[in-house]
A = this chain, B = another copy of it.
Amino acid sequence: MPIATLFLGDCREELRQVQSESVDLIVTSPPYANRRASSYGGVKPDAYVGWFLPIADELQRVLKPSGTFMLNIKECAVNGERHTYVIELILEMRKRGWLWTEEFMWHKKNSYPGKWPNRFRDSWERLLQFNKNRKFKMNQEAVMVPVGDWYENRMRNLSETDRVRDESKVGSGFGKKVENWIGRDMVYPTNVLHGATECNNRSHSAAFPYWLPEWFIDLFTDPSDLVLDPFIGSGTTAFAAIDKGRNVIGIEMYEPYYLNLKQKLEQELRLAI
């Protein structure tokens, strides 16, 4: 039976109650700069790095050495330019010991239309992966995807060159051995995730679709592991974690969100008994 723990308060404070090196996966979508002013006070772009770094430090303390921190973030446009707080944050976090392992891209296919004279609709967000060590827990098999349509045609008739390693002819150093693919119906994904944004949530503004934390929970944790979201909001991360049999800690400073989520969690966990 998964355990869900909820804290009401600013995660800069509440994180102190979380034990050091106890968390397997942190996955969160913090308030973006200038957004959600009514509930989070609207961090100014120029102040964003200074605001986030103390939180990043605490997250580093509570994360297991084998753990992963997935940060969903995107810079806003300010005065006709993309702001630099996200890339500055990456550099600062590296100075403080984080490893910037990877940047996944989330392609939001149903972003709302809009028209500006100098830019198009912003249809992607960053999913920054940070780690404490070069070795970390990663269950790649848990997120495999069906092989593409090309496979069936490709495998129907294997040529002779397919059965041996076929070295590239132009010196790229790349070869293939198609025979390895026989019988395979699932392949590994790429670092581009696509899916729609959540667009039916009236009580919380954050567009963190369920499949997104779910995917990283599958990838970076085992059952009974501990997942943390310091900006839990409407609780998407919590429900994904519980559904997957993981324990979860959520922190929320905006009381209406906190109370709403607390009630829904109690209901879900009671029903599951």
Contacts and interface: CB of A to CB of B under 8 A. Distances in A.
Interface of A: 35-39, 77, 79-82, 84, 87-88, 90-91, 94, 99-103, 105, 107, 109-115, 117-124, 134-136, 138, 140, 149-150, 153-154, 168-172, 174, 176, 178, 181, 187-192, 202, 205
Contacts of A205: 168-170, 172
A82 B104 CA distance: 11
Given A35-B172, A170-B39, A202-B169, A119 B102 contact: yes
Given A39-B170, A87-B87, A109-B150, A100 B82 contact: yes
A188 B120 contact: yes
Contacts of A105: 105, 107, 123-124
Given A36-B172, A118-B138, 20 more contacts: A35-B172, A38-B171, A39-B170, A77-B102, A79-B134, A80-B99, A80-B101, A87-B90, A110-B154, A113-B188, A114-B174, A114-B176, A120-B189, A120-B190, A121-B189, A121-B190, A121-B191, A123-B192, A124-B190, A170-B202
